[in-house]
Structure 1
Amino acid sequence: MRNFEDDPTLNDLLSNEQLARLNQCLSALCSEPVVLARTRPGPDAVPVEFNLETVGWLSGGGNDDERETAAGLVAFLMMFVAKYRLAANLHHDATEAGYAELQRQNEALKASEARYRELSDQLQQKVDEQVTVIKQTQQELYESARLRSVGQLAAGVAHEINNPIGFISSNLRVARDYVKELGATLPETPTKKDLLADFNDLLTESIDGASRIAGIVSDLKTFSSIDQADFTRCNITSLITSAMHLVQTEYNHELQIVERLAELPDISGHPSRLAQTFFNLLANAAQAVQDAQSDKGPGRILVKTQVESASIQIIIQDNGCGIPEHNQPKIFDAFFTSRPVGSGTGLGLTVARDTVRGHGGQLQLDSREGMGTRVRLTLPIN
């Protein structure tokens, strides 16, 4: 629609149909037909002006007065047509401006919505991170409480069992001496000889069993370290040896564990948590060896320690079933386990990694399915 910033022409004011109807009406008002044209048809034509500009020419009519009057009427009508067009243009411009403003506000609303959505995603991510931290903290508290419970149990076991085991061991040794003295006083007969031999064997086996119980209690006490503070000087070799003895006991001393333990300096650390870490890793290795196929030969676990630079390295390697490649990215996730339901909590490697990190060290795991697993722990000496 024309804005009429420039002076309009008759084409702008009237269409061809409107011009024909206007000529018909003007002719009815005059004695002779009247014609309003865009160009001057003859010398007797009267100009039709709009805003002091000639927009058309009117010819015909009965005389000059009729032509002048008709031209004035047309000019009067043109003024109202122009006002109508101007109002329509103003309305159109206002509508366009309003629509443009609505579009701008809509774009601003979309941008604001996108910012709020991004902010919401960031807040949700932070909430998820905090929930993860809370869960990890709860798990650490649970593990700490569990370790304290194990330590208290070990202290009770050591107190309640060590004394009677000591009495039993001492009495069995005295009884064995009495049997020797009694055998010397009895007459020599085949029956006495066999009876004394069997009795000596029974006493020897009982003494060995009592010594084994005492060793297990001692290992359990070392494993739990109930009588030590949170951080103290730790003998890594002693902790690893106790963990190996406990795992061997759990598997009826049927595991083939190859020890290559170097002389290690004491380090500052949490004995019970380090012992728990070594036990978890050895138990995983033992389980992997048990799950391996029999055609691979006997299962074997290598435990090796060494000093390198300013750190202690502990290597636990097995030739068991290994970890499938698709499970390896998740092995340190809490509660993840590939064992059947009820066979594991899925916390062993998680606790081991966190414990090693808590001591300023690193834990690296390399595994190949069907080949075995190698775990390397690095603990700083200072």
Structure 2
Amino acid sequence: MRSFEDDPTLQELLSADQLQRLNRALSGLCKEPVTLSEHKAGDSVPVEFNLERVGWLSGGGSRDEQLAAAELVSFLMMFVAKYRLAANLHHDTTEASYAELQRQNEALKASETRFRELSGKLQQTVDEQVDVIRQTQQELFESARLRSVGQLAAGVAHEINNPIGFISSNLRVARDYVEDLKEIAPDTPANRDLLQDFQELLTESIDGTSRIASIVADLKTFSSIDQADYSLCNVNDLLQSAVHLVQTEYSHSLQIIERLNELPQVSGHPSRLSQTFFNLLDNAAQALRDEAADDASGRILVQSQVQGDTVRIVIQDNGCGIPEASRARIFDAFFTTRPVGSGTGLGLTVARDTVRAHNGNVTIDSHPRTGTRVTLTLPVKGS
């Protein structure tokens, strides 16, 4: 639409139909017909708009009628121009508003996209934090469980050691009394058999009390209830205690080969290290059981040695091994290949986290039907 910043023409001010209607109206007001056009004809008078001539008016009954009609046309042209100006302003304003709305709409779309991306990132961050919290809770649970086991072991040690002590002492005294009875009792076949059986019973009972005392000592070492959270510990002692506990767990049916070399003391958390060794040995025992319950060739190798500035522990079995599809997830919490109810899926997770907490490392090399080799390294601390 024309903004009329430049001087308009008559055709721009009035359409052909509007010009015809104006000519008829003017002719009705005058005694003679009146014609408004862009071209001068005869005694026509000029018609001005904004001090500029836009057309010529001819006809009419007199000169006065011509001038009056021309003045009326100029007056009307002013209102036409004002209407056009208002229409143009409204049009420009509407277009500007529409353009601004479009710009705001695009900005809102871009903002929505950014917020969606931010929401996705926040959700990912929340999920990661939830995983961290869940893992931390699990670690706290494990820590609390270990402390409970330690307190239980301390109670067991306190309650059992004393009676085991005097039972063992009394049995030895009783065995000595049997020797005395041999000298004073009549030497008859019945007495000899009776005293011989009695002595063997006492010997077996003494061996049983020694075994109970050994188990209690292993539990005490396993829980390390009388040690600070971090202290200098003997890795070989912890390994042997874990081996004894696993042997007890499996009724001493496991073939465990120990190749423990002399090691320097390591600064660490004894109960957590013991738990780690026990978990790994238990996994190895399960692998042997899954491979063949009646296979006497199944064995577990436990080896320790110094390698540079680290202590290297190897626990290896020749059991069923880990399927290739499961190897990438073996350290995932709650992941287990055992039947439902046979494992929590936390053994390797706790072992890895414990070794990392001691600034060490754990690697696993496993092949189906060949076996699994777990290697742990712990930094050496001076004793």
Using the TM superposition, give the Cα deviation of residue 251 of structure 1 relative to its aligned residue in structure 2, in angstroms: 0.8
Q: Secondary structure at the match of 2:298?
A: coil
Using the TM superposition, give the Cα deviation of residue 114 of structure 1 relative to its aligned residue in structure 2, in angstroms: 5.5
Two-structure CA RMSD over aligned residues (Å): 3.3
Aligned residue number for residue 11 of structure 1: 11
Aligned residue number for residue 22 of structure 1: 22
Aligned residue number for residue 263 of structure 1: 262
Distance 1:327 1:11, change over 3 A: farther
Aligned residue number for residue 331 of structure 2: 332
> Which digits, 9 at most, give the CA deviation of each residue in 1:339-371, with x for residues without a partner?
444433333233222221221212233444555
- Alignment partner of 1:273 is 2:277: no
- Alignment partner of 1:236 is 2:249: no
Q: Secondary structure at the match of 1:71?
A: helix
The number of residue pairs the alignment matches comes to 380
Please give the alpha-carbon distance, in whole angstroms, between the structure 1 residues aligned to 2:182 and 2:295: 52
Aligned residue number for residue 35 of structure 1: 35
Q: Which amino acid in the other structure matches residue 13 of structure 1?
A: L
Aligned residue number for residue 212 of structure 1: 211
Distance 1:45 1:367, change over 3 A: farther
Using the TM superposition, give the Cα deviation of residue 130 of structure 1 relative to its aligned residue in structure 2, in angstroms: 5.0
Aligned residue number for residue 377 of structure 1: 376
Using the TM superposition, give the Cα deviation of residue 108 of structure 1 relative to its aligned residue in structure 2, in angstroms: 4.6
Q: Which amino acid in the other structure matches residue 304 of structure 1?
A: Q
Using the TM superposition, give the Cα deviation of residue 317 of structure 1 relative to its aligned residue in structure 2, in angstroms: 2.5
TM-score (normalizing by structure 1): 0.84
Distance 1:250 1:296, change over 3 A: closer
Q: Which amino acid in the other structure matches residue 4 of structure 2?
A: F
Residues 127-276 of structure 1 correspond to what in structure 2 (within 5 A)?
A: 131-179=130-178, 182=181, 186-187=186-187, 189=189, 198-276=197-275
Which moved further from structure 2: 251-260 or 161-170? 161-170
Distance 1:47 1:293, change over 3 A: farther
> Which digits, 9 at most, give the CA deviation of each residue in 1:119-175, with x for residues without a partner?
666665665555555444444333333222222222222232223333333444454
Aligned residue number for residue 74 of structure 1: 73
Using the TM superposition, give the Cα deviation of residue 295 of structure 1 relative to its aligned residue in structure 2, in angstroms: 9.9
Using the TM superposition, give the Cα deviation of residue 105 of structure 1 relative to its aligned residue in structure 2, in angstroms: 4.1
- Alignment partner of 1:95 is 2:94: yes
Q: Which amino acid in the other structure matches residue 27 of structure 2?
A: S
Structure 2 unaligned blocks of 5 or more = none
Please give the alpha-carbon distance, in whole angstroms, between the structure 2 residues aligned to 1:276 and 1:263: 21
Please give the alpha-carbon distance, in whole angstroms, between the structure 2 residues aligned to 1:296 and 1:33: 130
Residues 268-307 of structure 1 correspond to what in structure 2 (within 5 A)?
A: 268-292=267-291, 298-307=297-306
Please give the alpha-carbon distance, in whole angstroms, between the structure 2 residues aligned to 1:15 and 1:370: 99
> Which digits, 9 at most, give the CA deviation of each residue in 1:296-338, with x for residues without a partner?
9843323222222211111223333444555545443444444
Please give the alpha-carbon distance, in whole angstroms, between the structure 1 residues aligned to 2:327 and 2:33: 102
Q: Secondary structure at the match of 2:226?
A: coil
Please give the alpha-carbon distance, in whole angstroms, between the structure 1 residues aligned to 2:243 and 2:178: 37
Please give the alpha-carbon distance, in whole angstroms, between the structure 2 residues aligned to 1:9 and 1:120: 61
Which moved further from structure 2: 88-97 or 102-111? 102-111
Using the TM superposition, give the Cα deviation of residue 84 of structure 1 relative to its aligned residue in structure 2, in angstroms: 0.1
Distance 1:148 1:54, change over 3 A: same
Q: Secondary structure at the match of 2:316?
A: strand
Please give the alpha-carbon distance, in whole angstroms, between the structure 2 residues aligned to 1:305 and 1:176: 41
Which moved further from structure 2: 73-82 or 201-210? 201-210
Please give the alpha-carbon distance, in whole angstroms, between the structure 2 residues aligned to 1:282 and 1:81: 102
Distance 1:13 1:301, change over 3 A: farther
Please give the alpha-carbon distance, in whole angstroms, between the structure 1 residues aligned to 2:3 and 2:299: 95
Residues 306-321 of structure 1 correspond to what in structure 2 (within 5 A)?
A: 306-321=305-320
TM-score (normalizing by structure 2): 0.84
> Which digits, 9 at most, give the CA deviation of each residue in 1:93-119, with x for residues without a partner?
222333333444444555555566666
Using the TM superposition, give the Cα deviation of residue 14 of structure 1 relative to its aligned residue in structure 2, in angstroms: 1.9
Which moved further from structure 2: 72-81 or 131-140? 131-140
